[in-house]
């Protein structure tokens, strides 16, 4: 697609309300990637760029990267490349996925009369043309809406919008759990295929669409996405760009990896203690990963107060020496 055409597409987006806070998808411009910029040899489900997860059953091997190939108005995209192919069995699936926290989705009023309509918009680029699907799912996997879009020209950025009516049935969490699953299918087996796109929400779990592209079957196939926005209403808004710091803080509610070494100190002959201040309130008590430069045989994660601080106790380290450690804190949905 030419730059002029991309600019024309941008001009067709509705500008009303295009301000910070209108997009329920976090990191839709793919600017934050605390875990790294390239994830090679992926064969199982894994978080990659912040808030976006590679979801797969079994079979293919892919590389996912934070690419600087993006349409006008964006700098980054999430890029999937198939490095080892596999057939698509009945129970298989592949997707790029983001779970939206119930606290950020509850204002749509799903599960009751008056549930609000919303619009999902994004830029996509793929080496394989054809029909692709988007599946929207509740936390208990028993309510699904299936939509489709076409990749018309190979390896060309195309802008897509999908309008979804609110679901007046089902159970939809308004808590810190999963409110809505946004599932960009890259292929699914017959066990998980909807027969057609949805004009209404249906019972059960669909993760794809009959006749849609199975990316995993083509060696070297690529899929890219950016500018992902989910807003209330029956039309797309212009993507609400925000500062890097704002997006990073939203991501750190779910995953925090300090970009520095953390220092603690011994408080008796063998043990040590380290306080960690979080830059944002984490969604839930996180799972801790750490690497200690001074020997430590175990740790205890406690004194988490839900807002800003955690305490790590290291047992069995060097007496009277400071502890130096790197750490990760994972509260992903």
3-state secondary structure (DSSP) of residue 51: coil
Q: How far apart are CA 40 and CA 54, in angstroms?
A: 12
Q: How far apart are CA 132 and CA 128, in angstroms?
A: 10
What is the structure's pLDDT at 260?
75
What is the structure's pLDDT at 7?
39
Strand bridging mode 208-209 / 193-194: parallel
What is the structure's pLDDT at 265?
67
138 or 19, higher pLDDT: 138
For residue 140, give both structure tokens: 């208990």
For the cut 80, the answer to whether the pLDDT of residue 309 exceeds it is no
pLDDT-based confidence at residue 195 (cuts at 50, 70, 90): very high
For the cut 80, the answer to whether the pLDDT of residue 280 exceeds it is yes
Domain extents for the chain?
Answer: 3-251, 255-330
What is the structure's pLDDT at 38?
98
User: In the CATH scheme, what is the code of domain 3-251?
Assistant: 2.60.120.260
Q: Looking at mean pLDDT, say which of 115-119, 194-198, 199-203 comes out highest.
A: 115-119
Find the length of the chain: 333
Q: How far apart are CA 81 and CA 75, in angstroms?
A: 19
For the cut 70, the answer to whether the pLDDT of residue 218 exceeds it is yes
Nearest one of 322, 250, 256 to 293, comparing CA atoms: 322
What is the structure's pLDDT at 216?
98
Please write the tens of the pLDDT for every residue from 43-78. Answer: 999 999 999 999 999 889 999 999 999 999 999 999
Nearest one of 236, 142, 131 to 185, comparing CA atoms: 131
> What does the pLDDT average to over 183-207?
95
Average pLDDT, the chain: 88
> What does the pLDDT average to over 116-131?
98
Please write the tens of the pLDDT for every residue from 234-269. Answer: 999 999 999 999 999 999 999 999 887 777 766 666
Q: How far apart are CA 31 and CA 28, in angstroms?
A: 8
What is the structure's pLDDT at 326?
79
First to last CA, the chain: 36
Please write the tens of the pLDDT for every residue from 171-182. Answer: 999 999 999 999
pLDDT exceeding 90 applies to what percent of the chain? Answer: 71
Dihedral angle computed from the Cα positions of residues 10, 15, 21 and 23, in that order, rounded to the nearest 10 degrees: -50
What is the structure's pLDDT at 303?
53
What is the structure's pLDDT at 15?
39
What is the structure's pLDDT at 12?
41
Task: Kindly tell me the burial class for residue 307, based on how many C-beta atoms sit within 10 Å of its own C-beta (0-12, 13-18, 19 or more).
Answer: exposed
């Amino acid at each position: 697609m030419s730059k002029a055409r991309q600019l024309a597409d941008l001009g067709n987006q509705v500008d009303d309300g295009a301000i910070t806070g209108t997009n329920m998808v976090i990191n839709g411009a793919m600017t934050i990637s605390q875990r790294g910029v390239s994830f090679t040899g992926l064969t199982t489900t894994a978080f990659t760029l912040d808030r976006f997860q590679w979801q797969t059953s079994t079979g293919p091997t892919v590389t996912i990267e934070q690419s600087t190939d993006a349409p006008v108005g964006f700098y980054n995209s999430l890029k999937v490349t198939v490095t080892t192919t596999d057939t698509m069995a009945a129970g298989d699936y592949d997707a790029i996925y983001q779970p939206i926290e119930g606290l950020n989705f509850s204002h749509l009023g799903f599960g009751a009369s008056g549930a609000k309509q919303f619009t999902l918009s994004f830029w996509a680029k793929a080496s394989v043309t054809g029909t692709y699907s988007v599946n929207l799912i509740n936390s208990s996997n028993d309510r699904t809406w299936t939509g489709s879009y076409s990749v018309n020209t190979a390896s060309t950025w195309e802008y897509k919008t999908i309008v979804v009516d609110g679901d007046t049935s089902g159970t939809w969490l308004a808590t810190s759990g999963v409110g809505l699953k946004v599932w960009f299918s890259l292929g699914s087996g017959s066990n998980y295929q909807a027969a057609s796109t949805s004009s209404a929400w249906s019972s059960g779990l669909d993760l794809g669409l009959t006749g849609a592209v199975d990316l995993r079957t083509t060696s070297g196939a690529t899929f890219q996405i950016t500018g992902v926005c989910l807003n209330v209403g029956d039309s797309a808004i212009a993507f609400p760009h925000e500062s890097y710091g704002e997006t990073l803080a939203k991501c750190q509610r779910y995953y925090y990896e300090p970009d520095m070494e953390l220092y603690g100190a011994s408080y008796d002959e063998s043990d040590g203690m380290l306080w960690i201040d979080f830059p944002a309130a984490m969604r839930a008590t996180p799972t801790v990963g750490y690497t200690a430069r001074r020997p430590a045989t175990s740790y205890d994660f406690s004194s988490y107060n839900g807002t800003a601080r955690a305490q790590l106790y290291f047992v069995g380290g060097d007496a009277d020496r400071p502890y130096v450690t790197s750490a990760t804190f994972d509260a992903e949905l």
